[in-house]
Structure 1
Amino acid sequence: MPHDLPACRCVICHDYGDRDEADHTDLRTIEQVRDHGWSVVMVPADAEGPGFAYTIGLWHTHRVPELAVFGLDIGTMRVLLNTLGRQAAAGTVLEPGREYEEVVEGRPVALRTADLRWYREFFGGAIAFHRRPPFPVLQVVWPDAEGRFLWQVGTAESYGRSQPRLWLRPAEHPEGVWSALVTG
């Protein structure tokens, strides 16, 4: 583990007297992180927007960024995050700006660093587990049918409504379902 990383302040590493306040979901997450190294939180699509999923525990267990993906089928997102989690646990370096081939369904994905200002809206479970940022989150971005990533298409593309651009500050994000969640 590199020495320049901040110390882990998660609920497993430190008991500040708040473990007794953990609910069933929190206890299940702690158990999954202890048993498997991480947990995947899945948020289904609803009237507010597309579904998304993210990891909790990769930072604690392996000192690699947590991962988040948006806009795909819940099952596909779980498989994608677990595949990348297993690769990271086996030593694959997950780097922002890099593409990873054939992670799920034979398609590439790319990783981008999520801006801290999005965390409260999307990663509440991870904040509760880690107690507070900083813990890094990488957004897993999938390409459209033509193989283009979000930064290669215009803002009006329907594909861009399926996944946010978390590497942008919320104020820089194109208007739509994602920016409305943070500013609304």
Structure 2
Amino acid sequence: MTDEQIKEYFEKLNNNIKEYGYHVTNILESDSPGFCYSTGIYQTYKIPEIFISSLPKGLCSEIIENYVEAFKDGKEISLNEKLNFLTDRFPVYLIDVPITNLKEYVLSSIKIYGDKEFKYLQVIYPDIEGIFPNEAGYDYDQDIMGALKK
């Protein structure tokens, strides 16, 4: 990216945080699974940011939007439990992810937050057979950045 493109990107990111409370960055990879992540949720709503590996852009946006709506008013976030309301396509888990595990992925958040505290959760989803990574027979290319309890 050129300096001008970087400037424009961060202007858009900051405008989205002001207008919607957060921004979603989608990274498409040619030789490995893509990913998306939020920036601004922790600052705006005091709930962890979201990281999602290997799902399409529209589905990532849907899950992040539903997450914000579900938890922005202080509802307790259930970690390592199947949740059926972040998308109607399949249940998901939310797991805690140390920022150190994401430092090469969530560059926009690292730039925006600087030295301020922020947290991330990862959305974990099943393969096409409905099997999760912590279950026998799981078969999908999803990078898991935290610990999914069995």
TM-score between both structures, scaled by the size of structure 2? 0.83
Q: Are 1:66 and 2:45 counterparts?
A: no
Q: Are 1:78 and 2:61 counterparts?
A: yes
Aligned mates of 2:115, 2:107 — CA distance in 1: 10
Using the aligned pairs only, state the percent identity.
Answer: 21
Corresponding position of 2:75 = 92
Higher Rg: 1
Runs of 4+ in 1 over 4 A off after TM superposition: none
Q: Are 1:23 and 2:18 counterparts?
A: no
RMSD of aligned residue pairs (Cα, Å): 2.0
Letter in 2 for 1:93: E
Q: Are 1:165 and 2:144 counterparts?
A: yes
With over 3 angstroms needed to count, the CA separation of the structure-2 counterparts of 1:151 and 1:134, relative to structure 1, is: farther
Which of these residues, 128, 136, 139, is aligned with residue 145 of structure 1?
128
Kindly state the Cα deviation for residue 116 of structure 1 after the two structures are TM-superposed.
2.6
Task: Provide Cα deviations, 1:160-180, integer angstroms capped at 9, x if missing partner.
Answer: x2x112115xxxxxxxxxxxx
Corresponding position of 2:37 = 54
Corresponding position of 1:122 = 105
Kindly state the Cα deviation for residue 50 of structure 1 after the two structures are TM-superposed.
1.2
Match of 1:129, SS state, is helix
Structure 2 stretches of 5 or more lacking a match?
1-5
Aligned mates of 1:100, 1:110 — CA distance in 2: 6
Task: Provide Cα deviations, 1:140-177, integer angstroms capped at 9, x if missing partner.
Answer: 011123322212246xx541x2x112115xxxxxxxxx
> Is contact 1:42–1:78 with CA below 8 Å preserved after alignment?
no
Task: Provide Cα deviations, 1:80-130, integer angstroms capped at 9, x if missing partner.
Answer: 111212222244332321221042243111001112322211111111111
With over 3 angstroms needed to count, the CA separation of the structure-2 counterparts of 1:153 and 1:139, relative to structure 1, is: farther
Kindly state the Cα deviation for residue 54 of structure 1 after the two structures are TM-superposed.
0.7
Kindly state the Cα deviation for residue 132 of structure 1 after the two structures are TM-superposed.
3.7
> Is contact 2:46–2:72 with CA below 8 Å preserved after alignment?
no
TM-score between both structures, scaled by the size of structure 1? 0.69
Aligned mates of 1:91, 1:108 — CA distance in 2: 21
Structure 1 stretches of 5 or more lacking a match?
1-21, 169-184
